[in-house]
Structures are given as structure tokens and as C-alpha cells.
Chains A and B, each alone.
Chain A
């Protein structure tokens, strides 16, 4: 490979830092569009991370590792789905519990695997295109999950705003009573959305333990699940903006490291606060206009659905 410049290196790490956020936030966006607020993203990511790591280490197959990460996320999310959709438990409390549960179970499962090394997820190089200076390695010499994360943004955008199924999903999030009255199975649609969110959060975790830092460390997500949640609001529930937001937040994370490296005296904690500050700012801005909030946020977000039958 040709000599990699500092700029390229920084940009590459930005992409890596953004990808787990992007995966988890894209999943959560679909969940929230269906009217469910799952605060358990952090927990699902952790369980995804540890499961992916264990599968990769024991089987040696990165593909199995990725599948295991997604599957673990789905199982976690089904737990949440059963609680909130069938037993009508409060979504906020259930989501927080899911995160706490995820922290605990991932730590427990991961005890024998702490510090063990694995091979980093291989990059899938696209010939010729990869040789373009700067952009080549950035766009065409990445691993599967990075390509997949960008693909999913496009796919989700197309699904939500172009397909009939996506229209139904948005309708369920907009007014579950109206959707029920014209004959859609609110619970089933929401359950699938929740499972999709779980799979994507699991993949976000898998990326962390397989590619970003190829090892298992307790609580290695370090709050990324919460940033992903904030990103969905930041993006006002639009997939394209999730992509921009994730890369922006990824850049903030990386620049903070490099700034410290250059000896700039900004406390790291201040920079870590940035994503949340920006989210609060965005919330304030969109809340100023009542109709805009109404139009972008799913109207039934977080409300429990009683079918009355």
C-alpha cells in the first residue's frame, strides 16, 4: 500500500469511529418510526460485541462473528419487545433495564475472554478503485460492516419513504389507533421493527469488538449506545441525517484524541459532552416550531398501545 498520509489516517479512523454509531442509530430510527422508544441500545450493543467476539474466537470465522453479534442483539430486543408490546410494560423503564441487564450479562459472558487477541475484520478491497489517492483507501478498502452500514442507510431510507411496508410502519408510529382501526397488526409490525433495531445494535457492537478494537473489554461500548439514541433525535428521524450526524460525532471523537496528542489543553470530558450538547441544541431548535416537531417525530413515540380486543 502506498504511504498513508496523516490526513488519510485521521479520515480512516473517523470512518471507524462513526460506523458503530451509524449501525445502531439506523436501527433505532426504524424502531422509533414505528412508535417504540428502546433505550436499551447500549445493552444490546454490548451483548452483540461480546457474542461476536466469542463466536469469532471460537470458530475463527468473521462471518459467524458478525451473525452472532446480530443474533445476540435480536434476542435482547425480543426480550424488550415481549415486555413492552405484550405485557405493556413502560418502554422507558424496560429500555433502561435492558441496558443494565446487557452490561451485566456481557461482562459475565466475557470474563474468560478478556485480553485475548483476535484478527481484525479483514478489509474487502475493491481493485483499481482502491488505488485512488486518499479517497481510494477511504471508500474502497474497508471491511464488510463499514460498507454494510452505509448501504443500510440507503436501504432504510428507501424502505421507509418508498415502499408500502415502510409507509405502514410510519403510519403505525404516527397513530397506532388509526392503524389498528384500518386493520394493521400494530403489535406485530412493532415487534419486527424492534427486532431490526436489535440486530443493528448487535452489529454496531460486533464492529467494536471485531474491527474497531479487536478484543473484548468490559463495557467497551463506552456510551456509544446513548450517542446513537441522541443521533436519532439529532437527525430528526431522517436516515440521511443519521449518516451525517454519525460521521460528525465520529469526527469529534477522533479530533479530540488528536488534539490531546498535539498538546491542546481542552479536557477530553468537554469534547465527550459535545454530542449531547448538540443534541440538546437541536431539540431546542426543532421544539420552537410545534408543527415541525409534529411532522418529524413519530406522534405515538413511547406510548403504550392497548388494542381493546
Chain B
């Protein structure tokens, strides 16, 4: 057998305080779709950044087509035939698609024929793109296409994809899989990072599983169950929450005819949104990012006030024009989409963050002074009750991993015993173990009678948690559907703007 396309032997990389990769061996032959699985912080991103020349490994060797290489920079990686599509896109908003692509390819390949080549490649793989449009005006899915086309123009032999489907509708993801399969058939190897075990089973030929920087298993994902894959990832058995349809009570959170005019061409107008969340219910709002969920959450949370005070009611009290603080006093708990910046102050300690989010209901302020010992107690309780792994409650919130910070924020809100819980993207970018813990916390909360609203792009999550789901598309919210009448495919069609009758 000929040597594999890419082989890593004993790759080790340490950052201050963490061993991100510990003697990792990987071998990828041509044409293989190779999954890299692992929890957040397992070292997947570090590993692919080493392959792509973004970081230098401390130890270990890399072999490319049988020869030892040391990739010194991303430009070098691209030159030898390694392309990468980033999780957080490396695009320039203010520049056109053409400029963005031109920047990433060698100067010889550019020039006048570039627009033509972009058309050719995007047509070959069914990735429609207009080279003259500015990137900021594109949807997330279209931006990803720019990244992919940019890689394909350099005819890579290995394509690295870092969580490519986290922002796509199921239909867009299916299109992506077709492109990837087509590429693999043409002999291009693909290194595929994802949290979504279902799609790894569907797409990938081989999987390497990382835990705490080490390779703990290799397998053929098509022969494994999602459960066994997840257990390999987190290294213990999973305990999925018992799922039963709960009895729901009176309306606790009501939105009536909520509208918002977009301030500029980048934001979405909200059109006459109506829904209600009942006691003990989890209500889900699905939709592809950028269809108005951010704008809706801003208004529900009170970051932006409604024109009409009656548009939003909490526990029967109209509060569309009331402040965030007043809404919290009425019993709302809020977990915003942006963990750092909106949910927590990254440069402040966990204790201070507990104070900021909960001093009214935790009673942490004594007139002008902060009750530091109470705040410490609550921070400790939040961390203990919600399994937040931290290096001490004095550390900065920003130093927690995404999953742990999210558990902390959700815990902080739940301990305030809210009547209404508003959570946006509660498990976005969170590893499987934390995801499970967050789901359980939300289900328990609803079981205790709180009305819970979850806005999410993750359909599996919504189908698992919610009693009713409505879909957002282009600033409008569909009728809510009981979850029993829905499938991922049906929601997917609604997310693409289809009418429910057609779905």
C-alpha cells in the first residue's frame, strides 16, 4: 500500500497550563473523509491549526505524501495542497466575494479570469455565488460557500472543515455533504470536525476521537451508534434525560403583534410576532441564524424596547417598554446569545458576575455596598449545582471554556427561580457533556413550573426539549407546532421559508 496522504506521529503541543495535544498520531489516505471528534477543549482545533501551519508543534513529525514536512505558515500549507474552512469565517466583511477570494490565492492565479473561475468552480459543485457582492450582505451559508470556493480554487489535496454545519439548515448541510462526497470521489481527503454525531455517521469513513489532547479511539463511524461515539468522546456512559410530555398551565410569557423596523441593511425587520409560553412548557424557536432571532431576543430581553408596551407581557404584566431590570423583577431570567459581553463580563471574576446578574433576587447588595460573602456563596453554589469546572470562583469568567461558562450562566439564572426563562442558543459551541447537563437543567426547570423559551439553531436540541416549536424565517414567526407533529425535515423546510401546508 502506498503511503498515506497525511500522517502525524507523536504531535505534542502545550499552552501555558494545558497540554492541548499529547503525542497524537493520525493517518489520512487520499479520498477519505476523516472525522475528528472530541469535546470542547479536547484539542481538535489546536491539532488542525498545527496541520495548517497556524501553530508550530512542540514535538512530533508530520509526513505529507510520504515525505517529512514542517508546515511553517498557512500560506505554506496552501502551497503544498492543504486548504481549511474555518469555524469562525476568515472573511473580510467590507470586501467583495471576488476580493476575498483573490486575497487567499497566489497572485498568478488571480487577475482578470478570476470571476470566470469563481463561476466555474461554484457551478461544478453547485455552490451559487455572485463574485461582485460584498460579503457583509451574504447569509452565513453563502459565506461558507465563499470559504469553500476559495479553498477549491487552489485544488487542495486535503480540505480541513472545522464545524461546517453548525450554521446551516439541514438542506444546506445536505448540499454540503454532496460537495464533500464529490470531492472525496475525486481523491481529495477531508478532515472533518464536528460535534454532530449523526452527520459524522452519515458522512465520514473513519473517525479519530480525542479526549484531553490524546487519541483515545479510532473507529468506523458508520458501524457505531451515536451513543457509543458520544461515550468514547466523553469517556463515560451517557445518561439522557427522561423525556415525557409535561402538562402545561397558564400563560406566563405573552408576545403580541411585536414588530421592529430594521435600522440598517444588515439587520432584520420583525413582522408581527405572536406567541405565548405557558407554565411548565418549553417553547422552541427554530431558524437559520440571521432570520431575526437576534433582533427578537434583544426585544424580549429588553435590550431594545418595543414601541407598544402591550407587545410583551410577563406573568400578565405588560412590559414591552420596561427595562431589563424591571423585567427581571417581574420574574424573567435571561441567557443571551453572546456569552461574553452580554451574559458575563469576561474580565471579571465569577463572584462579580454572579453579583451583576443576580444582585436583586439574591439580595447581594446592602445599600451602596456589595455583600461579598453572599456573592461568594452564590457563585460557589452555582458552580457546585451545575458542575461548572473552574480553577476557583475568583478566576475571570473569560477563562472558562464555552461549555462551563454557559453552565455557569444558566445556573445563575435558574438559581433565581424565575417564572420565565429566556435562553438564546443555550448550547451553541458547547461540548456533548455540558450540552446534556444544560438540557437536563432546562427540563427540570420547566418541570418545576417555569415557562421556558429556547431560541436555537440546533433542531435535534429543540425536538428533544420542546413541547411546541415555531420557526423564524425572514423576520416572521410561523405558527407553533406541537413537537409530536414535527420532524427535522419538516422544520427544515419551514426554515427555508416553505409554507406549512407544503411541508
User: A and B bound?
Assistant: yes
* A residues in contact (CB < 8 Å) with B: 164, 167-168, 170-171, 174-175, 177-184, 289-291, 294-295, 299, 308-309
- Report how far A254 CA is from B331 CA in the complex, Å: 64
How many angstroms between the C-alpha atoms of A291 and B265 in the bound complex?
Answer: 7
Residues of chain B within 8 A of A167, CB atoms compared: 95, 99, 102-103
Query: With A183-B73, A183-B75 known to touch, is A177 a contact of B90 (CB < 8 Å)?
Result: yes
Residues of A within 8 A of B78 (CB): 182-183
Known: A181-B90, A182-B103. A309 touches B266 (CB 8 A): no
**Residues in chain A near residue B104, CB distance under 8 A:** 182-183
Alpha-carbon separation in the docked complex, A72 to B74 (Å): 36
**Chain B contacts of A308 at CB under 8 A?**
54-55
Contact of A171 among B55, B103, B264 (CB under 8 A): B103
Does B74 lie within 8 Å of A183, measured CB to CB?
A: yes
- Check A171/B95 contact, CB under 8 A, given A182-B90, A294-B136: yes
A289 to B265, CA, bound (A): 10
Interface secondary structure of A, over-half rule = helix
- Across the interface, do B94 and A295 meet the contact criterion of CB distance under 8 Å? yes
In the complex where A167-B103, A309-B55 touch, is A174 in contact with B264 (Cβ < 8 A)? no
B264, A291: Cβ atoms closer than 8 Å: yes
Known: A167-B103, A183-B78. A299 touches B86 (CB 8 A): no
* Chain B contacts with A in 66-114, Cβ cutoff 8 A: 73-78, 86, 89-95, 99, 102-104, 107, 110
Q: How far is the CA of A136 from the CA of B82 in the complex (A)?
A: 60
Confirm or deny: B263 has a beta carbon within 8 angstroms of a beta carbon on chain A: yes
Q: Is B56 an interface residue (CB 8 A)?
A: yes
Specify which of A178, A180, A289 is in contact with B92 (CB 8 Å cutoff).
Answer: A178
Q: From residue A274, how far is it (CB to closest CB) to chain B in Å?
A: 30
A223 CB to nearest B CB, Å = 31
Return chain B residues, CB-CB under 8 Å to A295.
94, 134, 136
Taking CB atoms, residues of chain A closer than 8 Å to B99 are 167, 171
Task: State in angstroms the CA–CA spacing of A123 and B472 once bound together.
Answer: 68
Expressed in whole angstroms, the minimum distance between the Cβ of B159 and any Cβ of chain A is 15
Task: Choose among A179, A294, A309 the residue that contacts B94 (Cβ–Cβ < 8 A).
Answer: A294
Contact (Cβ within 8 A) B103 A175: no
- Which of A170, A177, A184 has a CB less than 8 Å from the CB of B95? A170
Interface size class on chain B is 20 to 34
- Given A164-B110, A183-B75, A183-B78: A175 in contact with B90 (beta carbons within 8 A): yes
Residue of A nearest to B111 (CB): A164
4 cross-chain pairs, A with B, having the tightest CB-CB distances, nearest first: A183-B75, A178-B90, A183-B74, A181-B90
Contacts of B136 in A (CB 8 A): 291, 294-295
CB distance from B133 to the nearest CB of A (A): 13
Seed contacts A181-B90, A309-B54, A309-B55; 4 additional CB < 8 Å A-B pairs: A164-B107, A179-B92, A182-B74, A182-B104
List residues of B (255-280) whose CB comes within 8 Å of A's CBs.
263-266
Chain B minimum-CB-distance residue to A168: B103
Give B12-61 interface residues, CB cut-off 8 Å to A: 53-56
Which of chain B's residues has its CB closest to A297's CB?
B94
CB B154 to nearest CB in A, in angstroms, measures: 11
Can you name 21 A-B pairs with beta carbons within 8 Å?
A167-B95, A171-B99, A171-B103, A174-B95, A177-B90, A178-B90, A178-B92, A180-B74, A181-B54, A181-B74, A181-B86, A182-B75, A182-B90, A183-B75, A183-B104, A290-B266, A291-B264, A291-B265, A295-B94, A308-B55, A309-B54
Most buried by B among A180, A183, A309: A183
Q: How far is the CB of A75 from chain B (nearest CB, A)?
A: 30
In the complex the two chains form, what is the Cα distance from A309 to B91 in whole Å?
21
Q: Nearest chain-A residue to B15 (Cβ)?
A: A308
Q: Which listed residue, A179, A180, A291, touches B266 by the CB 8 Å rule?
A: A291
Bound Cα distance from A178 to B94, whole angstroms: 13
**A175: chain B residues within 8 A (beta carbon):** 90-93
CB-defined contacts of A170 to chain B, threshold 8 Å: 92, 94-95
User: Would B93 and A299 count as touching, CB distance under 8 A?
Assistant: yes
Alpha-carbon distance A118/B102, docked complex (angstroms): 51
A299 to B92, CA, bound (A): 9
- How long is the Cα–Cα vector from A76 to B138 in the complex, in angstroms? 42
Question: Among B56, B77, B94, B264, which residue has its beta carbon within 8 angstroms of that of A290?
Answer: B264
Residues on B with beta carbons closer than 8 Å to the beta carbon of A181: 54, 74, 86, 90
Which residues on the A side are within 8 Å of B134 (C-beta)?
A: 295
Q: How far is the CA of A170 from the CA of B54 in the complex (A)?
A: 22
Q: In the complex the two chains form, what is the Cα distance from A184 to B76 in whole Å?
A: 11
Q: What residue in chain B is nearest A293 (Cβ atoms)?
A: B264
Chain B, residues 356-394, CB within 8 Å of chain A (1/0): the string is 000000000000000000000000000000000000000
A294 to B107, CA, bound (A): 28
